[in-house]
């Protein structure tokens, strides 16, 4: 077999795998947005069947031969990018023992049900044995995948979510960030609550229309995407030309619906901007979850919570909802209020990352055997006291609040904070490249910012690793400084 043929065989085979994956995504989207509850069992069977087919295709022994042959030929940068990710995927798929894959899938579906029950009844002991099983299985998975010398089990799991992310690289950024955020929390002056009562109880249909206009103005293409409503907002790509996102359906104030819409739109703009010529190939795919999150946070926090944005957007709200007395400064203060709380998903910009650090340190300790699952509640509460100055009054509002660990997702949480850090650093670079950026945002003109993101972040897809991309675009390695400077400006400290 000649080498170009081997490469083309890989392209074709991987495109078929990607097509199956996108078919699963269609079913998942339907399940979240419209499927009737009686269809649960049938949908699970459909998804299970597709998972089996996908796994068979991912472990097709011909892939190993094609990779060996293609890897020995002259390749350009795009092909080399594809081969390296396909090699990684092949290694992961073939290193995973089948009995372990089955055990993990069964243990996590049982653990999710136990977690739901334990959270509802605030009973950690009901969940503890399931967590213990999962930690043991994830540890086995990490050992099967392996990690570079000097690393640890966590690294093997994290690499799947963010290529190259390790516990050591995360710690290097998190440790200085943590003490700075703890200090910031203590020094932010007392904030008076802005009066935002005018934005409560607005007609839901009108809010939906209004926010659709906003995302279109941000650059979301309704020819290549859909915006629907759901209880938990999310964004998913169903393939080239089809990006779906949702906004909250149950908001009592326009501000929370606005924040989640801009967040999901940031994800959607990234997906719509990925190079379509490489659809179904790693070269045309998103560059890990941290960079994905950076795109949502950049729009949500650096655009949507900025003064220039509110100079423009206050007038838009006033016109649409006939509220002439709105004050831009009050709204700007309201969306930037900070207060330490117990719940991660309700946290603001200045405290959110402290919630993530608690989870990162604890899951790392669990995987390394430094923390027993039964000791989790005490360790959790002690971390919350130290970092956030608050103590959970129950495990339901403490260590049982997130679904991630019960699903077996370990090594995932730091991508949220890395996304925040990338967002701040990228936005600084955008400001430097676009001197008129603030004036443009103050007039509701987002096109120059989107064009910059398209060129610098979206077009490259996975061509460079996330850390290389950051250096190329910002001239520096990822650091906590830009985000700390941003928070300092925001809170005047």
Residue keyed to tokens 């950051």: 470
Least Å from the CB of residue 266 to Zn ion? 8
Nearer to Zn ion, 79 or 296 (CB): 296
Least Å from the CB of residue 302 to Zn ion? 14
Site for Zn ion in 392-451 (CB under 5 A): none
Nearer to Zn ion, 141 or 300 (CB): 300
Least Å from the CB of residue 267 to Zn ion? 6
Least Å from the CB of residue 265 to Zn ion? 11
Site for Zn ion in 262-301 (CB under 5 A): 296
Tokens at 488, concatenated: 């300092």
Least Å from the CB of residue 188 to Zn ion? 25
Nearer to Zn ion, 281 or 295 (CB): 295
Least Å from the CB of residue 344 to Zn ion? 13
Nearer to Zn ion, 371 or 421 (CB): 421
Nearer to Zn ion, 405 or 412 (CB): 412
Number of residues interacting with Zn ion: please give it, by CB under 5 A: 1
Q: Which residue's CB comes closest to Zn ion?
A: 296
Site string for Zn ion, 294-333 (x = CB under 5 A): --x-------------------------------------
237 is an interface residue for Zn ion by CB under 5 A = no
Tokens at 84, concatenated: 């390296």
Residue 300 among the catalytic residues:
no
Catalytic residue among 160, 251, 264, 271: 264
Least Å from the CB of residue 413 to Zn ion? 13
Least Å from the CB of residue 263 to Zn ion? 6
**Burial (CB count <10 Å: 0-12, 13-18, 19+), residue 393:** exposed
Nearer to Zn ion, 104 or 426 (CB): 426
Nearer to Zn ion, 156 or 257 (CB): 257
Nearer to Zn ion, 381 or 401 (CB): 401
Three-state SS sequence of the chain: CCHHHHHHHHHHHHHHHHHHHHHHHHHHHHHHHCCCHHHHHHHHHHHHHHHHHHHHHHCCCHHHHHHHHHHCCCCCHHHHHHHHHHHHHHHHHHHCCHHHHHHHHHHHHHHHHHHHHHHHHCCHHHHHHHHHHHHHHHHHHHHHHCCCCCCCHHHHHHCCCCCCCCHHHHHHHHHHHHHHHHHHHHHCCCCCCCCCHHHECCCHHHHHHHHHHHHHHHCCCCCCEEEEEECCCCEEECCCCCEEEEEECCCCEHHHHHHHHHHHHHHHHHHHHCCHHHCCCHHHCCCHHHHHHHHHHHHHHHHCCCHHHHHHHHHHHHHHHCCCCCCHHHHHHHHCCCCCCCCHHHCCCCCHHHHHHHHHHHHHHHHHCCCCHHHHHHHHHHHHHHHHCCCCCCCCCCCCCCCHHHHCCCCCCHHHHHHHHHHHHHHHHHHHHCCCHHHHHHCCCCHHHHHHHHHHHHCCCCCCCHHHHHHHHHCCCCCCHHHHHHHHHHHCC
Catalytic residues: 264
Per CB under 5 A, residues contacting Zn ion are 296
């Amino acid at each position: 077999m000649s080498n170009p043929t081997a490469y083309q065989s890989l392209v074709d085979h991987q495109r078929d795998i990607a097509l199956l994956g996108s078919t699963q995504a269609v079913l998942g989207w339907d399940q979240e947005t419209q499927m009737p509850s009686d269809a649960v069992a049938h949908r699970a069977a459909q998804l299970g069947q597709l998972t089996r087919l996908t796994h068979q295709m991912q472990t097709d022994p011909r892939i190993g031969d094609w990779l060996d042959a293609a890897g020995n030929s002259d390749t350009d940068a795009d092909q080399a990018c594809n081969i390296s990710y396909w090699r990684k995927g092949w290694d992961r798929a073939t290193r995973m023992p089948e009995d372990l894959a089955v055990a993990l899938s069964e243990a996590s579906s049982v653990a999710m049900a136990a977690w739901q029950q334990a959270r509802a009844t605030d009973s950690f002991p009901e969940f503890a044995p399931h967590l213990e099983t999962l930690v043991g299985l994830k540890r086995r998975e990490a050992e099967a995948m392996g990690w570079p010398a000097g690393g640890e089990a966590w690294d093997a799991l994290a690499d799947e979510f963010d290529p190259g992310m390790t516990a050591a690289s995360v710690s290097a950024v998190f440790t200085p960030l943590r003490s700075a955020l703890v200090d910031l929390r203590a020094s932010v002056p007392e904030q008076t609550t802005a009066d935002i009562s005018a934005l409560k109880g607005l007609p839901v249909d009108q809010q939906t229309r209004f926010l659709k206009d906003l995302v279109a103005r941000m650059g979301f293409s309704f020819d290549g995407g859909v915006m629907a409503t759901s209880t938990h907002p999310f964004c998913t790509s169903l393939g080239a030309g089809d990006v779906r996102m949702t906004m909250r359906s149950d908001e009592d104030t326009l501000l929370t619906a606005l924040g989640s819409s801009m967040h999901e739109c940031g994800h959607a703009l990234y997906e719509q901007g990925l190079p379509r010529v490489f659809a179904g190939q790693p070269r045309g795919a998103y560059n890990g979850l941290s960079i994905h999150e950076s795109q949502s946070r950049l729009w949500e926090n650096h655009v949507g919570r900025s003064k220039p944005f509110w100079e423009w957007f206050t007038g838009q709200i006033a016109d649409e909802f006939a509220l002439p007395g709105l004050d831009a400064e009050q709204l700007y203060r309201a969306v930037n209020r900070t207060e330490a709380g117990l719940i991660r998903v309700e946290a603001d910009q200045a405290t959110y990352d402290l919630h993530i650090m608690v989870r990162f340190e604890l899951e790392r300790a669990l995987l390394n055997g430094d923390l027993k699952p039964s000791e989790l509640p005490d360790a959790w509460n002690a971390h919350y006291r130290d970092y956030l100055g608050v103590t959970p009054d129950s495990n339901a509002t403490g260590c049982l609040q997130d679904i991630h660990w019960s699903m077996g997702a370990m090594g995932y949480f730091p991508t949220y904070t890395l996304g925040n850090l990338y967002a701040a650093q990228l936005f600084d670079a955008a400001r430097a490249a676009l001197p008129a950026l603030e004036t443009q945002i103050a007039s509701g003109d987002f096109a120059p910012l989107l064009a910059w993101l398209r060129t610098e972040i979206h077009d490259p897809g996975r061509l460079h690793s996330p850390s290389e991309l950051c250096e190329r675009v910002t001239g520096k390695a990822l650091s906590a400084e830009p985000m700390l400077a941003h928070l300092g400006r925001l809170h005047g400290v």
